[in-house]
Amino acid sequence: MSDRTLKKGNGWRIGWNPTTEVYKGLVGGDNWAIELTEAEFNDFCRLLEQLTQTINGIAGELMDEERIACEAESKLLWLEVEGYSHDYSLRLILNQGRCCEGNWSQEAVVELVQAAQTLKVF
């Protein structure tokens, strides 16, 4: 039995495979994917959760038409959410090694966040 997990939806996918040597995590969209090391994947999930909590925390202070941008960063990667408190896109940049970039549309982010929260304890 494999501990390998891949979750996907409209415009997003996220996966975890603890049995591989280097790249245990995967994030992507419909037409792209980036394999992540365990440390990168942990940072991705942790920073995504931080950004989600930040957006939810300030949502009551914003007017409906007010757009926001919020970012979080570790040594390994950078994430940014941009849009409205209830509808925002997500952008990822790896800071070391492969130096990759990816993004998810507003339609994909809610399900991606939910999947990341259930995929792995980080």
Query: Looking at residue 2, what is its pLDDT?
Result: 62
Query: Looking at residue 77, what is its pLDDT?
Result: 96
Answer whether 28's CB lies under 8 Å from 102's CB.
yes
The residue behind tokens 């037409």 is 31
- Backbone dihedral angles phi then psi of residue 47, each to the nearest 5 degrees: -70, -35
Its pTM stands at: 0.90
Query: Looking at residue 65, what is its pLDDT?
Result: 79
Query: Looking at residue 74, what is its pLDDT?
Result: 96
Domains of the chain, with CATH numbers? 37-119 (2.30.31.10)
pLDDT truncated to tens, each residue of the chain (122 aa)? 468 899 999 999 999 999 999 999 999 999 999 999 999 999 999 999 999 999 888 877 877 778 888 999 999 999 999 988 888 999 999 988 888 999 999 999 999 999 998 876 54
Core vs surface per residue 68-100: b (16+ CB within 10 A) or e: eebebebebbbbbbebbbeebbbebebeeeeeb
Of 80, 64, 83, which Cα lies nearest the Cα of 72?
A: 80
Query: Looking at residue 120, what is its pLDDT?
Result: 60
